[in-house]
Amino acid sequence: MSYQYSTFGRFLGRGSGIGELMDDLGHALADGGPDLKMLGGGQPARIPAIDAVWRERMTQLLDEPGGLDRALTTYDPPRGNAKFLTAIARLHREAFGWDIGPENVAVTAGGQSAFFFLLNLLAGRMDDDSRRQILLPLVPEYIGYADQGVEGALFRPVQPQIERLGPHSFKYHVDFDRIELADEIAAICVSRPTNPTGNVLTDAEITHLAELARAKAIPLIIDNAYGLPFPGISFGEATPYWDPNVILTLSLSKLGLPGTRTGIVIGPPEIIRALGSINAIAGLSNPSLGQQIVLPLIESGDLLRLSRDVVRPYYHDRSELARQAAEEAFGDSSGPWMMHLTEGALFLWLWFPDLPITSAELYQRLKARGVLVIPGHYFFFGLENSPDWRHGHECIRVSYAMEPAVVRDGLAIIADELRKLRFG
C-alpha cells in the first residue's frame, strides 16, 4: 500500500540527505571492525568524573522525596518542572546579571526539538500566504537545522569572511556587508560555539547581530549547546550574551546526558508561552529525568564548578591533542591544508584548498579505509550548490571527542589519503 502524504509528511517523513548520511555512518559503524575510527558523530565524550556524578545522583534520586518516583510517575507541566525553571533563571541571573525569571524559561525534549519548534514558530508560511525565512549570518552552520522546515527550506545563508591566521590556521567571521535583513527575514540564528567549526563568534559580532535584530524587531536566536555556563566547552574569553530580544537555547546533552533529552530555552515570555503550547500539543510534557538529575547541582552551583573545572579542561586538552595530531599528520607533505581556530565544541574543521575531488568523494574513500568523518558541504545548506563557491566541498568535520589514539590514527589516514590523491 502507498499512502498519500501531506506537505509536512513529504518533507519530514521521507528522509533527508543528512538522514541518509547518518544511516550510512551507522551501518559503517556496525559493520566496521574494532579498528574503525568514528570521527563523524556528535556524541559527547564519556568523562569518568562526570559519569560518576550521574551515578551518584541516580542513587540519591532513588531515596529522594519527589525524586525518581516523581520523575517516573508524573507528567510535568508542558513548559517544564517549576523548580527547574526557577533554578535555571536564578543561575543565569547570578552568573551573568541577566534580568530573567522562570517566565523566561521553557524546557523541550532536547535542543533539537527546541529548534524544530522555534524555527517553524517564526518562519515558513504566514497567514497571508507570504513566506518568512531564518537568516544564518554565517555558514557553515549546524546540520541539524537543515531539514527542520515543515514545508521545506527555511534558511537564508550568508557566506563568511575567511581570515587567514597562519599557514594552516583560519577563522570565519560574519560578513556584515553581505547581510541584508529583508522584510521576509523572521529571525537571525547562530550556534555559538559553532558546530561544525569550533568557531566562537566574537562579542563584537554578537552585539552587532543583536543590534540588527532589535532594529528590525526580529529575534536573535543563539544556540548555546556547547557554551557557558554549561557544558562550558568554550575555550576563549567570549562573553555569554542575552537581551530581551534574544532566544538562547541550552542543552544537557554535551554535559554528558544526551539520553535524557533535555533542552532549555531562555527567551521573551511570549516565545516561552508559545513553546509551552507547542510542547503540550506535540508531546503533552517533557522527559523529566534530566531535570531531576541536575536540579540540586544547579541549586548548589556544582554544575557550574563541574563545567568549569572538569568538562571544559577535558575538551580543551582533547582539542590541543587533536590539533597537534593534525599538524603532525598533515605537515608539509599532504598539500595545502587549513584548520579552523578551535575555540569550542567537539570538532576540528579542516579545509583542503584545491582538493581535487569533493569532500563527499573524500568521505567515501575514507570510509573504505575505516575512517568516518562528515563531508563539509552538508553544513552549507542553501549554498551547497552555489556554482561560484567550492569551499564547502573542500572541508570536512572531524570529531575529537573519541580516544586521542583513535583521533590521531584517523587523522594520519586522512593525511595519507590526501597525499595519494594529490601526489599519486
Ligand X SMILES: Cc1ncc(COP(=O)(O)O)c(C=O)c1O
The binding site for ligand X (CB under 6 A) comprises 42, 110-112, 142, 144, 191, 195, 223, 225, 251, 253, 258, 263
Q: What residue spans of 47-183 are helical by DSSP H?
A: 48-63, 68-73, 82-96, 110-122
Shortest Å distance, C-beta 333 to ligand X = 33
Chain centroid offset of residue 177 CA: 26
Residue from 179, 254, 256 nearest 218 by CA: 179
Nearer to ligand X by Cβ, of 294 and 329: the residue is 294
Shortest Å distance, C-beta 345 to ligand X = 7
Other residues' Cβ atoms within 10 Å of the Cβ of residue 244: 13
Shortest Å distance, C-beta 197 to ligand X = 11
Number of helices (H) and strands (E), helices first, in the chain?
Answer: 13, 16
Element (H, E) at 251: strand 246-251
Nearer to ligand X by Cβ, of 294 and 418: the residue is 294
Q: How far apart are CA 314 and CA 400, in angstroms?
A: 11
Residue positions counted in the chain: 424
Q: What residue spans of 250-358 are helical by DSSP H?
A: 269-283, 289-300, 302-306, 312-330
Q: Are 399 and 410 in contact (CB under 8 A)?
A: no
Nearer to ligand X by Cβ, of 111 and 219: the residue is 111
Shortest Å distance, C-beta 316 to ligand X = 18
Nearer to ligand X by Cβ, of 223 and 343: the residue is 223
Shortest Å distance, C-beta 50 to ligand X = 16
Other residues' Cβ atoms within 10 Å of the Cβ of residue 194: 27
C-alpha distances in Å from residue 285, one per residue of 80, 105, 275, 288: 7, 15, 11, 9
Residue 191 backbone dihedrals phi, psi, to 5 degrees = -100, 140
DSSP assignment letter at 234: B
| Residue showing cell 543561575 | 91
Nearer to ligand X by Cβ, of 199 and 251: the residue is 251
Shortest Å distance, C-beta 258 to ligand X = 5
Shortest Å distance, C-beta 132 to ligand X = 21
Shortest Å distance, C-beta 194 to ligand X = 7
Nearer to ligand X by Cβ, of 223 and 409: the residue is 223
Nearer to ligand X by Cβ, of 40 and 67: the residue is 40
| Residue showing cell 533535555 | 262
Q: How far apart are CA 220 and CA 226, in angstroms?
A: 17
Note if the bond before 157 is cis, omega within 30 degrees: no
Q: How far apart are CA 72 and CA 312, in angstroms?
A: 31
Nearer to ligand X by Cβ, of 141 and 394: the residue is 141
Shortest Å distance, C-beta 151 to ligand X = 22
Nearer to ligand X by Cβ, of 22 and 360: the residue is 22
Q: Are 89 and 104 in contact (CB under 8 A)?
A: yes
The SS3 assignment for 52 reads helix
Shortest Å distance, C-beta 30 to ligand X = 21
Q: How far apart are CA 356 and CA 393, in angstroms?
A: 10
Shortest Å distance, C-beta 62 to ligand X = 26
Burial (0-12, 13-18, 19+ Cβ within 10 Å), 420: exposed
Nearer to ligand X by Cβ, of 314 and 379: the residue is 379
Nearer to ligand X by Cβ, of 42 and 80: the residue is 42
